[in-house]
Structure 1
Amino acid sequence: MKPGVLRGYSKGLKKVHEAGATTEYSYRIVFQEFLRSLFSKEYNVRIIHEPSRETFGAPDFKISTETGIIGYIETKVPNVDLHRLPKRDKSQIKRYSERLDNFILTNYRDFILYQRGEKVEEVSLLDEDFNLIESNVDKFNRLIQRFLSFTVPKIKDPEELAYILAKRAMILKDVVLENMNEDEQLQYLYQAFKEHLMSGMKKSEFADAYAQTVVYGLFMARFMIEGQLTRENVAFRGVPKSLRVVHEIFKYIASDLPDYLEWILEELIAILNNVDVEELKRRFHFGNGEFDPFLHFYETFLAEYSPNLRKSKGVYYTPIPVVEFIVNSVDEILKEKFGKRLQDDGVTILDPATGTGTFLAGVLDRIHRNIKGTLFQLYLKERLLNNIYGFEILISPYLVAHLKLSMVLNQWGIKLKDDERFKIYLTNALDLMRERGQAGLFERALDKESEEADRVKKETKIFVVIGNPPYESKKIEESWGSELLKEYLHGLSVEQEKNKGVIQDYYIGFIRFAQWKIDQNGKGIVGFITNNSYLDGIIHRRMRQSLMESFDEIYILNLHGNANRGEQDDNVFKIKQGVAIALFVKLREGKHKAEECKIYYYSIVHDAGKTTREEKYEFLRNKSWKTVEWKELEPKEPYYFFVPKDLSLEGEYSKFPKLDEIFEVYSSGVETGKDSALVAFSKEDLEPVIRDILNPKVSTAQLREKYDIESTSGWRFEERRAKIVGTPMKPSNFKKLAYRPFDWRWVYYEPKILRRAHFKVMKHFLADMNIGIVTERIVPKMRLLWDAVFVVDTISELHLTGSKSYIFPLYLYSDDGKTRRPNLKPEFLEELRKRYGEITPEDFLYYAYAVLHDPKYRKRYAEFLKFDFPRIPLYEGETFKRYRDIGEELVKLHLMKVDFPVEPKLVGDDLTVEKVKYDGKDCVAINKTTKLCGIPPEVWEYTIGGYRVIEKYLKGRKGRKLSLDELEHIYKVVEILRRTIGLVKELEAIEPKF
């Protein structure tokens, strides 16, 4: 490099600086001339400069040759430290440096070169006064040479291509999101998507959909177009016209795009022009057994592009062994029960959650194996293209599905014409199109797609519904699908109706939709893999009954894998929620009694130990509907469980009175809406928070930032705060709260701000002395042993005994708090007096509390304790007295009404709780240097509500330093639990008599 070029650059910048320049643009003209002098003639390089950028998105300079893009340069003002950029600039540079292969950042004096996401060179060419630093000239020359000589080898590996495209898609998404408010065309597309596809679509979701559409549309074009891609041929030939929606989006690409979109589009085209197309096609061949190249490509892309997207949308792509088991089983059932095969006339097939088309590809493969020779092409053109349907709401997997199925056909020597397509529609399976007025071309394309999809939803007779519905545990919005779901709510209790959100989970919506379609046809099959919670969930009982009324035979293959329940076996997916395959078979039209349906069950997990993912795949490879050793179940009302249950003691247990039949008044516990801010370890900790909330001078935004208070479903912080802001703080509102077993905290008990205060019940603990039993109605399935009971004499929190705790006060107080009466139903009190003479309400509570702690009771009635409030057996007089006496001791212990000295056994002096770990013998470490000793294993293992009591208490104080009071409290609880264990052994020794 000629020294004169560098000195000229130095001189030019000095001149601009002396003229009083303050923006980076003032220096950019000098820099552009410097770049031209550096290498444009010698290296035949083109320098493209964005002269005036109002929008944010494109780097300042693009350096390219006739054969492609070399790299990009971004400039900042000379006085900025490139290592201490302002927040906005820092975010921008992070985006460029991590997602562009060859990128220079400069402030005209200092230069940093990034390649493949790594900083590889850095040099200061000029000092702060723009004088040339002679000693760094050679280093600068090396940086420029390295920048210019950067090349990307031909891309042959699909995984590498997915990774590279994901990086660019991230940029595209960001620039669309940052500029869409000012871009009329993007606003038009966004509004069209909202009106026609996803009514609640956020701008970020649109930017994501747009970015993935462009990337996958270009990816599809790479397979469709011979030779080099250009914006023009991509727009008009890259996407089949039959895919109307995507075709209209790509017509926009051929128009005069804004700079912030044009550069990244050209970058994407350049990348795809650098692909070894023939090798790529070879690698995307479906000849490798269970390997789905398109699925692998898409999952690799998603893992880099947005790891959280899959989880947020509940998108988990189905392993091939699962697909083959379901498809093969459906074909066998068709043959055995209906005398048909998948390819036969009248066998219409729908995948309502198509994803990348794995199930439909499996259907095509099975049919191809059923039909030998050239006959398959005839079946395809005249029957299958009209009989196979799919719905997909996410546009990128929708595109991949179309491309995948086309490639599957190509392998068999079949090519679809431009006007031919599979009937996979871009639509929400659980909603219908709404009436609209005038529409543009893109909206008309969406409308046409929606009209055809709605015709399938409402009118087309479907014989087979297969697939893997989404795992998104989010409530289905008010829609046609949510109306269908009301079938599963009929007959549920008021309390269960409150929890109907569980029924509105997406996977349940898809099961209901599939059931409705088969009912509409009068006969048929559903083959799904889904969340398995509906098999024995109490809230799902009407759902199970409804399915039994529709279908004649139901086959459940329980694949388990529920880490949330503590199951040790692997999941067939990489998720924590257990799953099951269901085959629902309808042989005759109309509904019938649930008892007429035959239920068959098989569990893939046995007592032999952990079943690995590969072992489950091997089972699915080697089995199908015909060869699984099904066990027939006999589900009975009211629960109709789809899993084996030992209910042989139901007649005995159901004779005992249930807690909600014994007590008049009860409710679930207090729910604040934001425990981390509204619940504290001490009154002193809570007071400043409440003072700020009540202070009108403290804004809601300040409170959010200071205390991390965000609104949640059913609790809008701004609205709740507005009801009390400006009012004086009331000392009497600070109340002790039974937060967890033996863990009392403080709450500001003001119903106006709490999410659920349950004042009608809690007031009976505020008026005067009271006592109450706390338990659960439905115990989480992960809990192997029932332990959901505690006793309180204060108001209690929702999760005191686990998932959802209910409190049953012993007494009810008058409004003035002066009188009280027992909260026992009169008829039950009368029954007690007939049996036991004059006993007090306390006598019964002590007795019941002891019964609920008896290991014999917990074991004998374990199955029933999982799905309703406990029932209390009424033993004969002497047995009653023995239980009552032990129960009184337990209550006094658990309310900590018994005094005894304790002596903490401490090793170390740092009482900050960091990581809690028990040594299995005597000590629990709370950090690297300190242990609490003298805690026997049986005490450490003692649980209430599914949690080890001592461990829960310590983990609840993680990051805090234990006070002396807390330390002594822990050792009191240790002694209480030790005594509790002794009393429980006494209970176990009693032989109850009725």
Structure 2
Amino acid sequence: MALPKIKADAQGPIDRYIVAVAEKYQTGQAREHAYRPTFEALIHTLDPALKILNDPSRSEHGNPDFVFLRGDITAGYAETKDVGVDLEKTEKSEQMERYLGYSNLILTDYLEFRFFRNGSRYGEPVCIGAIEGGKLVPKPEVFSELADALTGFLASKPEPIKSGVRLAEIMGGKARRIRDNVRRFLADKADTDTDLLRIYESVKKMLVHDLTPETFADMYAQTLVYGLFVARYHDESQDTFSRAEARDLVPESNPFLRQFFNHIAGPDFNKRLRYIVDELCAVFACADIRELMEEYFKKNGAAQGQDPVVHFYEDFLKEYDAELRKKMGAYYTPLPVVRFIVRSVDHILKTEFGLADGLADTAKLPDGRHKVQVLDPAVGTGTFISAVIRNIYEQLIAQGQKGRWPAYVHHDLLPRIHGFELMMAAYTIAHLKLSIAFKQTGFTIFNKRLGIYLTNSLEQAEPQTDIFSLGFAQSIAEEAKQAAVIKNETPIMIVLGNPPYSGESSNTFYTGHDVYKVEPGGKEKLKERNSKWINDDYVKFIRLAESMIQKNGEGVVAMITAHGYLDNPTFRGMRWHLMKTFTEIYVLDLHGNSKKKEKASDGSKDENVFDIQQGVAILIAIKHKDKGDKELSNIFCADYTGPRAAKFAFLEKNFQAIEWQKTIPSAPNYEWRVRDTEALGQYQEGFSVQDLFQVSSVGIVTARDAMSLQWTRQDIERVVSDFQESPEEELRTKYDLGKDARDWKVSLAKKDVIKSYDEKRFVQMTYRPFDLRWTFYTGNSKGFHCMPRNEVMQHLLSAKNYALVVPKQLPDGEAGGAYVTKNIGGHKSFCAYNINYYFPLYLCHENGEHTLNFNKKVLDKISGSIGESTPEQIFDYIYAVLNSATYTKKWREFLKSDFPRVPYPKDKKQFVVLAALGKELRELHLLESPKVRKYITSYPESGSNIVEKIARKGGDVYINTEQYFGDVPEVAWNFYIGGYQPAQKWLKDRRGRALANDDIEHYQKIIVALIETDRIMREIDAIE
């Protein structure tokens, strides 16, 4: 191969570089690493002042191949690929995604050079040669352009950040780099950073005993990156910023944070982490953080009074790891909510406990300790404690006592405000934010530390006594020791805050809330088949708060939490226990539950005060010392629905200005709702479906629908065959199964299939209304299906049985009613937002016999008013009643709380008429009625039958540009069965599939069934 033709007198660095690359390329043996010395020589020639590091071990661990240093500051990075590699594909690869956190990055195949700044393209690519016909053909006309581009890129200052969104992206990228490096350091024993390892071991031993290296890496990265951001936000010297400056901004009164920032700024700080942190410091130094934040909140329509630093933390978390944010339940509490809670506590202390100064009161207990001790057990970034400080400060100012403030803080405030936080970044922000908040009031000399401790509130800490702990470990030991004193010895009178909401609790070790898992009365275990929501973290924090007030003998709990516990039957034991403990309980339900499609009272949109789907409520529970545990507390309720801004305005009211309505919760569920007691009594005269049917359960949870539910029997047979024969990891990849879960693992699914294989196990399953899928049903828990609910589903493997399908609670926004199936079924087959329960008509035994699944006592009472009847007639009577729109509208409030109750038949005549209509409805929903074959629609055009873009034009429903179902009535198109619109949902679930002839017929049957359902429901409503 001939070398590229370059002019003989060409002496430029790019000329020499291309010749050297060509020499290696023409050997035919050179690979990516062979060109690295040539590339390094080029960079050195262009910028001799740069220190160039090329560490092969770096690239093995997912880092760029080259680092360029100017002094101690990172000037850039380079990722090199073999000559001729498609850089377009590389740019879109997962590897490049990891590099988004790098400030200046060059991507090259040694001929083409692409430039990136913080993950975004910078300038235009420069290509100095190409491979044509196996030869390297240079492009000398762009040599000087490359020289200028490389020199300028590596000499340039950090990108000036012009938006808060961009800043969050950069910070998130840096944090991910730090996290990934820390994870690698701790995983690779040969490359372990001893300083990092000591910190990890100290935190695990003394603070978070179930800490994993992965979780520690998260904590460490967040603390470091966001701690620097907060420090820069409050830095007066805007021209410079460094790790050392950040350390100096940490108050000396906090030995833990002081030690952490000493670690960051110290000479032993890990070299690779130092590169990243110094890059970030350089970014901060080139940005006016305060101005950026102000502009950021103007553009993003921030709610009144939000702290930019704290709110931006949430946006940082979204960029860093959105799933972690969700898992930790971290959501910023809007100031209107915080202020309302703090004002309410202050008012209650003054009016209920005779403390004239409320939160500012300095009353002492006989042992000399302050009486009004305040704790936020999930302090987050310190918003509630900051509001408490502001409330007290304003009271003293209003009294003309500003001069007392420094002495008051030192002697009568710092000793009695406490906060616990598990997330190191939030803990860091809280300390810096609160120390600055104090400085803004004129208090600057901290002789005592702030009472914010890094600890898991739910973990009963024991004081650490390791006298040999030094440095960082010593500061953590002191942190744990002081947190244990608060938990075990301090007489907490006020517990307030916004605890995390997480149904999948990370605090599985905590059992204090087991006292809630009882039936009201406290003697029987809670009879709930699916009680997972009582293990939500917010429930555990409420129990923690309750126990602290019980221990103190009096006090107030004031929290904003998820609102499910107010009326969900699963929480009846919790409600009863709280009513035993407290004297008075106030609940302000702010609603906003988009999962349940909650609406405002006027039918308009109901917005949440948080950016979450779960509705929320404020709980204020008051306990006096003379409260006995035999009488139950008084319950006062209030609600507010509507736009978020209106809710914030409403929360500017004082506690006493709220129109509280007293309610008397009653057995069996003790709901905290204002109910029409007369209507409730009338509703409860009927029988509950749970009382009539002896055996029932929730629907099947497969845990892997896409794999375990297939369109045809042949499809599921192929899946099962794969599970019999293929290795676990091959199955995981082929079926995109992801990581194993607690109750579903590839290994267990495979074992179940092999052990339980039988042709009879291939069955159809009700997935959605009018939508059956094929599956392999073994009935074994934690097998091919996660939760197969065999205690009920075994009775639906017979063709001679039916099951009633209803949710335990009717969500707002759903049509209500009931569904029927002859097959096993899933947990979301009818109701989209709440779990569905299955009530089989018969119990099928191994000997082939069927026994009626009715409670004899309830059956006898039904028979008393109607005489003889068949089980099917009673089933159909229930089906007709539950599918009455009038019934749903009349009893909707009560249907939200528990299984539906059905009125006993008035007489034989009414029963027979309703049972006949129910039978007709059942046959329609099972598509067994002869009427469904009398199509009212057409399918006039032939074609691919592939469902592509679904659109209804006029009366025609198009599945692609050419084919459509003609004359689909609007009533059918928009009709709801439970939480779904079958005419739409059935097609949407088949996007990308070609409809078979059976499918085309099936859809037209659905349309008939929907039209007929509408007719029958109106007939049912007309019966008195």
TM superposition score normalised by structure 2: 0.86
Counterpart of 1:518 in structure 2 is 549
Counterpart of 1:312 in structure 2 is 327
Counterpart of 2:946 in structure 1 is 912
Cα distance change, pair 238–121 in 1 and its aligned pair in 2 (3 A): farther
Are residues 1:902 and 2:940 paired? no
CA distance in 2 between partners of 1:57 and 1:943 (Å): 51
Are residues 1:700 and 2:728 paired? yes
Match among 568, 584, 588 for residue 537 of structure 1: 568
How far did residue 762 of structure 1 move? 3.5
Are residues 1:136 and 2:148 paired? no
The residue identity in structure 1 corresponding to 2:461 is M
Counterpart of 2:637 in structure 1 is 601
Are residues 1:839 and 2:851 paired? no
Match among 570, 578, 593 for residue 607 of structure 2: 570
Counterpart of 2:454 in structure 1 is 426
The residue identity in structure 1 corresponding to 2:387 is G
**What SS is found at the alignment partner of 2:673?**
coil
Cα distance change, pair 426–552 in 1 and its aligned pair in 2 (3 A): same
How far did residue 766 of structure 1 move? 3.3
The Cα offsets for residues 683-717 of structure 1, whole Å up to 9 and x where unpaired, read as 1222111122223xx11212222223354442333
CA distance in 1 between partners of 2:962 and 2:201 (Å): 59
CA distance in 2 between partners of 1:329 and 1:986 (Å): 52
Cα distance change, pair 72–911 in 1 and its aligned pair in 2 (3 A): same
Q: Which runs of 5+ in 2 are unaligned?
A: 1-8, 298-302, 363-370, 599-604
Contact 2:83–2:111 (Cα < 8 Å) also in 1: no
The residue identity in structure 2 corresponding to 1:207 is A
How far did residue 369 of structure 1 move? 0.5
The Cα offsets for residues 273-304 of structure 1, whole Å up to 9 and x where unpaired, read as 5566998999999xx97141321442343343
How far did residue 646 of structure 1 move? 2.4
Match among 533, 537, 540 for residue 506 of structure 1: 537
CA distance in 2 between partners of 1:984 and 1:266 (Å): 70
**What SS is found at the alignment partner of 2:276?**
helix
Match among 588, 592, 609 for residue 625 of structure 2: 588
Counterpart of 1:881 in structure 2 is 912
Are residues 1:384 and 2:417 paired? no
The residue identity in structure 2 corresponding to 1:527 is A
Counterpart of 1:121 in structure 2 is 124
Counterpart of 1:79 in structure 2 is 83
The Cα offsets for residues 122-150 of structure 1, whole Å up to 9 and x where unpaired, read as 22346667886431222123313532552
How far did residue 398 of structure 1 move? 0.7
Cα distance change, pair 592–130 in 1 and its aligned pair in 2 (3 A): same
Cα distance change, pair 290–131 in 1 and its aligned pair in 2 (3 A): same
**What SS is found at the alignment partner of 1:306?**
helix
CA distance in 2 between partners of 1:839 and 1:649 (Å): 30
**What SS is found at the alignment partner of 2:540?**
helix
CA distance in 1 between partners of 2:159 and 2:444 (Å): 31
The Cα offsets for residues 620-668 of structure 1, whole Å up to 9 and x where unpaired, read as 23x1212222222232233222222224234344343333433343333
Counterpart of 2:338 in structure 1 is 323
**What SS is found at the alignment partner of 1:868?**
coil
Counterpart of 1:751 in structure 2 is 779
**What SS is found at the alignment partner of 1:626?**
helix
CA distance in 1 between partners of 2:414 and 2:161 (Å): 34
The Cα offsets for residues 956-983 of structure 1, whole Å up to 9 and x where unpaired, read as 3233222221222222222233233333
- The 5 A counterparts of 1:611-690 are 611-621=642-652, 623-690=653-720
Contact 1:519–1:590 (Cα < 8 Å) also in 2: no
**What SS is found at the alignment partner of 2:115?**
strand
Contact 1:918–1:924 (Cα < 8 Å) also in 2: yes
CA distance in 2 between partners of 1:160 and 1:663 (Å): 58
- The 5 A counterparts of 1:666-815 are 666-695=696-725, 698-710=726-738, 711-725=740-754, 729-752=757-780, 753-767=784-798, 769-776=799-806, 778-787=808-817, 789-802=818-831, 803-815=834-846
Kindly report the root-mean-square deviation, in angstroms, between the aligned alpha carbons of the 2 structures.
3.7
CA distance in 2 between partners of 1:615 and 1:5 (Å): 67
How far did residue 589 of structure 1 move? 4.5
Are residues 1:332 and 2:351 paired? no
Choose 499-508 or 677-686, whichever is displaced more: 677-686
Cα distance change, pair 820–141 in 1 and its aligned pair in 2 (3 A): closer
Contact 2:55–2:66 (Cα < 8 Å) also in 1: no
Counterpart of 2:486 in structure 1 is 456
**What SS is found at the alignment partner of 2:559?**
strand
The residue identity in structure 1 corresponding to 2:934 is V
Cα distance change, pair 667–582 in 1 and its aligned pair in 2 (3 A): closer
How far did residue 254 of structure 1 move? 2.1
CA distance in 1 between partners of 2:249 and 2:529 (Å): 53
Counterpart of 2:367 in structure 1 is none
Q: Report % sequence identity.
A: 31
CA distance in 1 between partners of 2:491 and 2:852 (Å): 60
Contact 2:665–2:672 (Cα < 8 Å) also in 1: yes
Counterpart of 1:265 in structure 2 is 277
The residue identity in structure 2 corresponding to 1:786 is G
CA distance in 2 between partners of 1:51 and 1:844 (Å): 78
Q: Which runs of 5+ in 1 are unaligned?
A: 606-610
Contact 1:240–1:247 (Cα < 8 Å) also in 2: no
**What SS is found at the alignment partner of 2:788?**
coil
How far did residue 821 of structure 1 move? 3.5
Counterpart of 1:358 in structure 2 is 383
**What SS is found at the alignment partner of 1:735?**
strand
**What SS is found at the alignment partner of 2:657?**
coil
**What SS is found at the alignment partner of 2:999?**
helix
Choose 858-867 or 4-13, whichever is displaced more: 4-13
How far did residue 677 of structure 1 move? 1.8
How far did residue 22 of structure 1 move? 4.6
**What SS is found at the alignment partner of 1:563?**
coil
CA distance in 2 between partners of 1:457 and 1:297 (Å): 31
Choose 679-688 or 974-983, whichever is displaced more: 974-983
CA distance in 2 between partners of 1:75 and 1:526 (Å): 56
CA distance in 2 between partners of 1:153 and 1:140 (Å): 20
Match among 988, 998, 1004 for residue 955 of structure 1: 988
CA distance in 2 between partners of 1:374 and 1:434 (Å): 40
Counterpart of 1:608 in structure 2 is none
The Cα offsets for residues 486-508 of structure 1, whole Å up to 9 and x where unpaired, read as 33545597774432210111111
Cα distance change, pair 136–558 in 1 and its aligned pair in 2 (3 A): same
Contact 2:663–2:673 (Cα < 8 Å) also in 1: yes
How far did residue 389 of structure 1 move? 0.5
Report how many aligned residue pairs link the two structures: 967
Cα distance change, pair 27–987 in 1 and its aligned pair in 2 (3 A): closer
Choose 957-966 or 398-407, whichever is displaced more: 957-966
How far did residue 614 of structure 1 move? 1.6
How far did residue 669 of structure 1 move? 3.3
Cα distance change, pair 879–29 in 1 and its aligned pair in 2 (3 A): closer
Are residues 1:986 and 2:1002 paired? no
CA distance in 2 between partners of 1:693 and 1:122 (Å): 48
Choose 166-175 or 554-563, whichever is displaced more: 166-175
Contact 1:476–1:505 (Cα < 8 Å) also in 2: no
CA distance in 1 between partners of 2:292 and 2:824 (Å): 66
Are residues 1:213 and 2:213 paired? no
The Cα offsets for residues 716-741 of structure 1, whole Å up to 9 and x where unpaired, read as 331232133277x5332222323333
**What SS is found at the alignment partner of 1:565?**
coil
Counterpart of 1:36 in structure 2 is 44
The Cα offsets for residues 513-534 of structure 1, whole Å up to 9 and x where unpaired, read as 1111122222222221221111
